[in-house]
Amino acid sequence: MAKEEIYCGLDIGSGRVTGILSKYNVEHELIEVIAGCQLTDREALSAGVIKDINKSARLINDVITSLEDMAKVEKTKLIVGVRGIFVSTYDTTAQIPITSTDRTITAEDQEKVNDHAVKNLRLSNDRIMMALIPQEYIIDGQPGISNPVNMEGSMLEVKAHAVVAYSSFLRNIERTFSEANCLPDSIHYGLIPVGQLITEPEERRLGCVVIDFSGQSIGVIAYNDGCIRFSKEFNCKDIDLGADLVTREIAAYYKTSWNIAENVKHMFGVAQPSSVKKDEQIEFRTRDGKTRVTSKKELARIIAEVIESIFLDRIFPELRKIQWIDLALQYGDVVLTGGGANLCGITDALRELFKSEYTEVEGSIDVRPGNIGSECGIIGDEDIISNFSYSTAISLVKYEIENQQKPFRGRSQDKGLKKFFKKIWSIFE
């Protein structure tokens, strides 16, 4: 019988905690999703940032307990994904001479040049390195090398993408998990794993753009030559910058509650008014208890205006400054994920917006959903796998397993977050 390990992927996201339980079949290298749970409390956390430790701890505990009860398991490996305004990404470089007699590059040389790349960032004391993702190694001026170990050269250089977070942000995450009485085995910046899960290696080589349309933020990744060239999460301190803004506008326009507006959005919402063929009537209650009647086409118009405002006014002006975005769009597609990707017609709506903004791109820009399936090595409950709200939680498990299988993983876990969390955990104990 094939050995199976149980993993819990937990996404600390936009005012909600989303978790999945999965079995990993080592022999067949398959991840089977066996349970999923999502709970919302916007007073506990917002855009990935802890607002109330006690409430957030209860939310996390409730999600994990529900998952374990559904799957009839107790002990799991807990992989956590975080995001928010206190996580940033930077590009960094470093180079070292190869001093061995035969000029053979060793794994120690590779780790040394990566450590120098971290030091070259000159992080302040209030920040910590979450991950260093090598983009390419260069040996004696020869670029594009993915693994320099056992190659020969006099000078080794690395170009890398670094994920950096405020120490206080991570400490509050740790305090929350301490209050929930569970310690994460690993913690990752959620945007990186989900981008890798929903794109193919060939897409990343040619170039493509990933958009994570979450509830309160929008994450963007640009790939080229097989690696991350740009990543950023766009937030707004004053108002939600994501799918929750659509809910907010529906609630405000029709003077109804948040929960009713959310249900109306999921049941009847369409992102492109022109795609509404049958203009049916919709009834729901307003805040004063009266019945409000609207049309599906009018609802679609409200939704389309919000999406246009988000991308045309806020996202595209920022993306226009990034040359890697332009380059990726010349050769590849836009891949959409996140809870906002569940909205009917959203890929068509974004395709039209990209075409109107990037008129100079030759050919057509396609926007496709970031579907997860057996070709990704993921099987299981289709209701969970096909729901884009769970994509990050699923990707965390796959990302962790793949990192464990790599003979060299950049910075050792014990030098990074795991040591950081173990130290804090011992203080709480």
DSSP string, 33-97: EEEEEEEE-TTTEETTEES-HHHHHHHHHHHHHHHHHHHT----EEEEEE-STTEEEEEEEEEEE
Other CB atoms within a 10 A radius of the CB of residue 2 amount to: 10
Please state whether beta strands 77-82 and 45-46 pair in parallel, antiparallel, or not at all (unpaired).
unpaired
Instruction: With residue 118 as reference, give the H or E element that holds it.
Output: helix 107-119
Strand partners, 344: 270
List of residues 6+ apart from 342 with CB closer than 8 A: 266, 387, 388, 389
| pLDDT band (50, 70, 90) for residue 410 | very low
The confidence score (pLDDT) of residue 222 equals 97
pLDDT at 289 over 50: yes
Tell me the two tokens of residue 62. Answer: 């409730």
CA distance 422 to 201: 34
pLDDT at 422 over 80: no
pLDDT at 425 over 80: no
Mutual angle of helices 243-254 and 258-268, in 10-degree steps: 110
Compute the C-alpha angle 154/159/162, nearest 5°.
Answer: 140
According to CATH, the topology of domain 4-85+168-192+374-428 is Nucleotidyltransferase; domain 5 (3.30.420)
Q: Are both 4-85+168-192+374-428 and 202-370 of the same fold? A: yes
The residue type of 238 is D
Tell me the two tokens of residue 45. Answer: 């956390």
Tell me the two tokens of residue 415. Answer: 């030098």
Look-up of token digits 């804090």? 424
The confidence score (pLDDT) of residue 235 equals 87
- Helices (DSSP H) in 124-210: which residue ranges? 167-179, 191-197, 201-206
According to CATH, the topology of domain 87-165 is Dna Ligase; domain 1 (3.30.1490)
pLDDT (mean) for 392-410: 81
pLDDT at 79 over 60: yes
pLDDT at 417 over 90: no
94-115, pLDDT tens digit by residue?
999 999 999 999 999 999 999 9
The residue type of 318 is E
- SS3 (DSSP) at 269: coil
- SS3 (DSSP) at 282: strand
CA distance 79 to 75: 13
- SS3 (DSSP) at 217: coil
The confidence score (pLDDT) of residue 418 equals 57
More confident residue, 277 or 394: 394
CA distance 149 to 100: 13
CA 174 to chain centre: 19
CA distances (Å), origin 388, targets 33, 148, 171, 339, 384: 14, 37, 29, 5, 8
Largest CA distance in the chain: 84
- Report the candidate in 156, 320, 158, 145 with the shortest Cα–Cα distance to residue 225: 145
* Cβ contact 191:228 at 8 Å: no
203-233, pLDDT tens digit by residue?
999 999 999 999 999 999 999 999 999 999 9
Its sign, for the CA torsion 39, 43, 48, 50, is negative
| pLDDT band (50, 70, 90) for residue 406 | low
The confidence score (pLDDT) of residue 2 equals 52
Domain extent listing, the chain: 4-85+168-192+374-428, 87-165, 202-370
pLDDT at 274 over 80: yes
What is the pTM (predicted TM-score) of this model? 0.92
Mutual angle of helices 296-308 and 258-268, in 10-degree steps: 100
CA 326 to chain centre: 21
According to CATH, the topology of domain 202-370 is Nucleotidyltransferase; domain 5 (3.30.420)
* Cβ contact 347:335 at 8 Å: no
* Cβ contact 279:250 at 8 Å: no
Average pLDDT, the chain: 91
Tell me the two tokens of residue 229. Answer: 């060239």
pLDDT (mean) for 240-259: 94
Tell me the two tokens of residue 362. Answer: 């030759």
More confident residue, 240 or 147: 147
pLDDT at 275 over 90: no
- Report the candidate in 86, 87, 84, 88 with the shortest Cα–Cα distance to residue 47: 84
